């Protein structure tokens, strides 16, 4: 199968632009034959969006736009791992979430980020549930960025039968860049970890130089960087959970 990483440069607070960017990237991934498409963390709003546009726009999901995206997934026949903020319809709390939209357009499940960072992510309430999501017969453990810093999170996914881990991330270079967390996760679980990161400047941070990676058995077997929005595709063997060859292709947007 083919897996696409949408290594994008969303603009903070520019919801219409970012949605258009995601749709364009999904189209490129679908044209490349992708079976699974992974987006980076907060690709719809940018990382530092709250200071510019607040949070009133965040709705219970699926809203009208995500509903349309579900219809698109059914047309493209690809499974989409979509990072999108949501408002809990019962509690009103906001969450930094990833939704798994199946190739038939149904929402298979979601993961709400647990390790919410103070300050820039103070708008979000931490999630509580950690459960693998069944995708095309494979139990997928979904995490978001700094969730990988807590071994208990990914170990719980492993104990529940996860066969592969997928992470949406906004984790750039600098003083707090990734420092072995991805590698340790794969050593602790024995599972491969696919991280879709982002690029470009944000409100107060720069993600230029951030890496989207495939990590297995404690080492990065593939790493990708780009200063502009790009779509990276790889060939993946679901049965053995291994990368086939190297990078299939990378297309700039």
Provide the domain limits for residue 244.
Answer: 2-252
The domain spanning residue 238 has which CATH number? 3.60.110.10
Mean pLDDT (the chain, rounded)? 95
Model confidence at 79: pLDDT above 80: yes
225: pLDDT strictly greater than 90 = yes
Render pLDDT for 55-78 as a digit per residue (tens, 0 to 9). Answer: 999 999 999 999 999 998 888 889
Band (pLDDT 50/70/90 cuts) for residue 119 is confident
The pLDDT assigned to 203 comes to 86
* Per-residue model confidence as pLDDT tens digits over 206-224: 999 999 999 999 999 999 9
Report residue 246's pLDDT band, with 50, 70 and 90 as the boundaries: confident
Residue 228 in contact with residue 9, Cβ under 8 Å? yes
Residue 202 confidence class, pLDDT cut points 50, 70, 90: very high
Number of folded domains that form the chain? 1
Instruction: Tell me what pLDDT residue 204 has.
Output: 86
Whose CA is closest to 30, among 49, 8, 3? Answer: 3
pLDDT for res 176: 86
């Amino acid at each position: 199968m083919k897996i696409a990483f949408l290594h994008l440069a969303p603009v903070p607070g520019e919801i219409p632009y970012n949605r258009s960017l995601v749709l364009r990237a999904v189209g490129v991934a679908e044209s490349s034959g992708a079976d699974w498409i992974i987006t980076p963390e907060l690709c719809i709003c940018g990382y530092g969006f709250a200071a510019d546009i607040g949070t009133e726009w965040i709705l219970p999901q699926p809203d009208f736009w995500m509903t349309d995206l579900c219809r698109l997934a059914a047309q493209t026949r690809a499974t989409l791992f979509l990072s999108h903020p949501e408002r809990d319809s019962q509690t009103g709390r906001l969450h930094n979430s990833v939704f798994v939209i199946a190739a038939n357009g149904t929402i298979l499940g979601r993961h709400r980020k647990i390790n919410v960072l103070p300050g820039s992510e103070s708008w979000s309430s931490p999630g509580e549930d950690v459960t693998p999501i069944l995708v095309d017969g494979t139990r997928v453990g979904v995490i978001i960025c700094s969730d990988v810093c807590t071994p208990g999170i990914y170990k719980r996914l492993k104990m529940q039968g996860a066969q592969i881990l997928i992470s949406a991330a906004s984790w750039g270079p600098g003083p707090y860049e990734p420092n072995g967390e991805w590698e340790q996760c794969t050593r602790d679980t024995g599972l491969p970890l696919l991280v879709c990161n982002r690029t470009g400047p944000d409100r107060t941070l720069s993600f230029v130089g951030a890496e989207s990676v495939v990590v297995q058995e404690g080492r990065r077997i593939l790493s990708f960087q780009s200063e502009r929005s790009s779509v990276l595709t790889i060939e993946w063997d679901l049965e053995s959970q291994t990368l086939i060859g190297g990078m299939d292709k990378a297309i700039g947007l």
